[in-house]
Structure 1
Amino acid sequence: MDNFADNAAAYLQRYRHTDANRLACNLTAQIDAVDAGALELPVTINHAEPGNAWVCSPRSTYIDYAAEEARRLLPRPLGATVAGLCAQLARLADACALDRTVTLNNWCLSTNLYPALAAVDLDQALAQARRRWPGHALWWRSLNRQDNADWLQALQARGFALIASRQVWLYPDLEAAARRANMRADARLLQRRDLHWCDNHAISAADAPRIAELYGQLYLGKYSRWNPAYRPQMIADWQRDGLLRLEGWRDDHGRLQCITGMFGTEQVVSTPIVGYDTGAAQKLALYRTLTATSYRHARQSQRRLNLSAGAAGFKRLRGGVAAIEYSAVWAPPAARATRALLWTLSQLTRRVGEPLMRHYQL
């Protein structure tokens, strides 16, 4: 299922008026929706609950996860300086209830994909959100200038500030990327004999615990505990509802060794679920095999590919185009401290964060 409106209907039928903890064990947020004309947009509502994964928490995104990334990826003195700044911002964030938020079009994924702006009554959606949650800040995540320039312009015109989040890697021309030497070498892995490809129909709910395990090894074990810890039931439900297309590779015993879960709209494919046995020998090239699998599906479906953040050098060598991803944020006029903190975050991330992300290819 790759139609935005159909995806939203399926998602809301399962999760509306429930808690995001059903999706991931480190999420606490109410799931609801706002009317946006011809379709509904899923939203998450937070009341400053502590410890949330970053997909529902501005604090985790811009302070906790940012501090981790600074220590891990930046040169040591610079990383320590950025982490120290994050520690100071944490106290302000808690005092200002930064996580008292409504995040619109939030699917609790690392990358929220967007419908065409022309299909959305943006003013109706915003008016409804402000009326229903008058004390909450409004957030939109996962916006970049290549795919969402019209959204960014429209939201800024309505008083939203932009906060830079991360650098993501886009593939607007997969046919050109396929001619690169690295991409051609990866494509040969799709013919491997030591592992056996299985498409979406050959993966069942019985595989969901293994998929969650492989995802967790990579995103929680290797990267950060602030990533969402998706539940096996969520993976099984999303596949059943047509929200996730799963493709993986099994060994001779039928055990999954790597997996990709793809989520798409009419124009774009993303890969919110990626996992592999991180203890396997590097020569098995499991990550390369997975990315080649995602490239193939995007090319066959004639859509652009958004491979999110991370592994910058790897993605750049395969034709990835870097794009800064933003959140667009607005706080009620009465919430003066929150508005001041959002302005500070906007200035810091755009004047300091963006140049660092571009320079160090984060």
Structure 2
Amino acid sequence: MMFIQVFGKESITRLDWDSVKNGKVLRKYYEPLVKNSSKIFVRNSDHQVEILQVGTELYPLTIGRKSNKKTCYLFSLKAQYIDYTREEVLKGSSYNKSQKAIVKFFFPFLRVFGSWMGMERTVFVNNFFLATNLYEKDTLLSDTMVTQYLKEYYPNCVIAFRSINESTDSHLLNKLKLHGGLPLACRQLYILDPKHDNFQKKRPVIRDRKLWEKTKDLYWQKVLRFDKIEISTLLTFYRDLYLKKYSQLNPDYSADFLEASMNSKILDFYILREISSDVPLAVQAVERTKHVVCTPFIGYDHMKPKNIGLYRLMHLKLSEIAIEEDKIFNMSSGASTFKKQRGGVPCFDYHIIFIDHLPKRVQWFWKQLYSISESIIKPAMKNLKV
């Protein structure tokens, strides 16, 4: 029988790090979280973190916490589906007055109802505090014993597997659905397979490459160690984009997160610098599996002129990494027109939830949300390209 166990604050000392893949390295990431909380890595959160060991693999678990305060959407289905959606609709130009009125006045009641139905009692599986959490094709999470164990270990909580898409994660998606999981659509992302798509002949890609060739005073550096002073600048780049421009519900990462995710090799960081001054202009992290690459963390200097094309250069760099490593490029969500012009193919990303161990009234609530997801949310995402 496969070994399955959860390690929390009281039992973390019993985890045999030598018995798991890359255990000594991953320890640098996991131990601070379990001993403290998610707040040390994501400042706008405060959630209990535990570790699931399945055979020789480790997966982070985050435990939902009932609160009326708004928290980062990575830890809360209420924050993602109610708070974030409300913000997006009210701010967005793609929505009409009727849609905005419904969201403005109805969603606060939905938020209270969701809390009453225990929406926050959710355990997120494989939650690395990233918008996109990649899965290996041979992940042991697909085994039915894992979901059964989690339902028994957390009998009062929804069990949610974060960000599983229908393109690169189709095997895991189908397996979890077969085990009884409900797929809640959470976003539409874009996938580029350099082997199958003749994207390099697309005009925007050619223009991006020419832009880089004309850029003589910039270079990419893979970070081996963060400079303590410079890391503040890099976080400012990120926060200006994701927190100030978009939403305070996005993760507010700390310097500890950047250092731990790099030291544990969960992420590789690349900085775009000026040759003449060595000043950083942009930063992006690269997350990898055997088959896929993506970037869950980016930021750039918004004070620089737009004609420098920092975002275009960052995207080009990731495309080149995918080509060099012969991997699929998960472009994530957002900037739909930009990504489709550069070969991105849309597909849906899901949270797979397990609820059959919960009270009937709670199951009813989630089944209604699933029905809304299939009949309203997914068609809206397609039409609005979000």
Change in Cα spacing, 1:9 to 1:241, as seen in structure 2 (3 Å) is: closer
Query: Does structure 2 conserve the Cα–Cα contact (< 8 Å) formed by 1:248 and 1:290?
Result: no
Query: Does structure 1 conserve the Cα–Cα contact (< 8 Å) formed by 2:142 and 2:175?
Result: no
TM-score, normalised on structure 2? Answer: 0.86
Provide the C-alpha distance between the structure 1 equivalents of 2:142 and 2:311, rounded to a whole number of angstroms. 40
Query: Does structure 1 conserve the Cα–Cα contact (< 8 Å) formed by 2:185 and 2:351?
Result: yes
1:344 aligned partner: 368
- State the Cα distance separating 1:332 from its structure 2 match: 5.2
Provide the C-alpha distance between the structure 2 equivalents of 1:222 and 1:194, rounded to a whole number of angstroms. 30
Relative to structure 2, which stretch is displaced further, 120-129 or 107-116?
A: 120-129
Task: State how 1:164-313 maps to structure 2 within 5 Å.
Answer: 164-173=185-194, 176-193=198-215, 195-201=217-223, 204-206=226-228, 207-251=230-274, 252-313=276-337
Residue 259 of structure 1 aligns to a residue in which SS? strand
1:44 aligned partner: 62
Residue 247 of structure 1 aligns to a residue in which SS? strand
CA-to-aligned-CA distance 1:144-182 (integer Å, 9 cap, x gap): 111122222222222221111111111123662222111
Query: Does structure 2 conserve the Cα–Cα contact (< 8 Å) formed by 1:220 and 1:226?
Result: yes
CA-to-aligned-CA distance 1:113-152 (integer Å, 9 cap, x gap): 1122464462332233223222111101211111122222
Change in Cα spacing, 1:267 to 1:83, as seen in structure 2 (3 Å) is: farther
| Unaligned ranges ≥5, structure 1 | none
CA-to-aligned-CA distance 1:52-110 (integer Å, 9 cap, x gap): 20111100110011112222333232344345443332121111121111101111100
| Aligned-pair identity (%) | 21
Q: Which amino acid aligns with 2:77?
A: P
Residue 204 of structure 1 aligns to a residue in which SS? coil
Picking from 59, 63, 76, the partner of 2:96 is 76
1:34 aligned partner: 52
Provide the C-alpha distance between the structure 2 equivalents of 1:303 and 1:198, rounded to a whole number of angstroms. 20
TM-score, normalised on structure 1? Answer: 0.92
Q: Which amino acid aligns with 2:162?
A: R
Aligned Cα root-mean-square deviation (Å):
2.2
Relative to structure 2, which stretch is displaced further, 37-46 or 71-80?
A: 71-80
Q: Which runs of 4+ in 1 moved over 6 A?
A: none
Query: Does structure 1 conserve the Cα–Cα contact (< 8 Å) formed by 2:194 and 2:323?
Result: no
Residue 229 of structure 1 aligns to a residue in which SS? coil
Change in Cα spacing, 1:22 to 1:217, as seen in structure 2 (3 Å) is: same
Bigger helix share: 1
Change in Cα spacing, 1:17 to 1:288, as seen in structure 2 (3 Å) is: same
Picking from 42, 48, 62, the partner of 2:81 is 62
Q: Which amino acid aligns with 2:102?
A: T
Q: Which amino acid aligns with 1:198?
A: W
Provide the C-alpha distance between the structure 1 equivalents of 2:178 and 2:87, rounded to a whole number of angstroms. 33
Q: Which amino acid aligns with 1:56?
A: F
Relative to structure 2, which stretch is displaced further, 112-121 or 338-347?
A: 112-121
Query: Does structure 1 conserve the Cα–Cα contact (< 8 Å) formed by 2:151 and 2:357?
Result: no
Change in Cα spacing, 1:358 to 1:334, as seen in structure 2 (3 Å) is: closer
Q: Which amino acid aligns with 1:76?
A: N
Change in Cα spacing, 1:226 to 1:152, as seen in structure 2 (3 Å) is: same
CA-to-aligned-CA distance 1:228-254 (integer Å, 9 cap, x gap): 000122112222222221112223432
Residue 85 of structure 2 aligns to a residue in which SS? helix
Q: Which structure is larger by alpha-carbon Rg, 1 or 2?
A: 2
Change in Cα spacing, 1:178 to 1:76, as seen in structure 2 (3 Å) is: same
2:159 aligned partner: 138
Provide the C-alpha distance between the structure 1 equivalents of 2:95 and 2:138, rounded to a whole number of angstroms. 40
Provide the C-alpha distance between the structure 2 equivalents of 1:213 and 1:192, rounded to a whole number of angstroms. 28
1:122 aligns with 2:143: yes
Relative to structure 2, which stretch is displaced further, 5-14 or 341-350?
A: 5-14
Task: Tell me the number of residue pairs that the alignment of Structure 1 and Structure 2 aligns.
Answer: 359
Query: Does structure 1 conserve the Cα–Cα contact (< 8 Å) formed by 2:26 and 2:264?
Result: no
Provide the C-alpha distance between the structure 2 equivalents of 1:6 and 1:216, rounded to a whole number of angstroms. 31
- State the Cα distance separating 1:317 from its structure 2 match: 0.4
2:6 aligned partner: none
Picking from 16, 25, 30, the partner of 1:12 is 30
Q: Which amino acid aligns with 2:367?
A: W
Provide the C-alpha distance between the structure 2 equivalents of 1:205 and 1:126, rounded to a whole number of angstroms. 42
Picking from 178, 198, 202, the partner of 1:157 is 178
1:53 aligns with 2:72: yes
- State the Cα distance separating 1:208 from its structure 2 match: 1.9
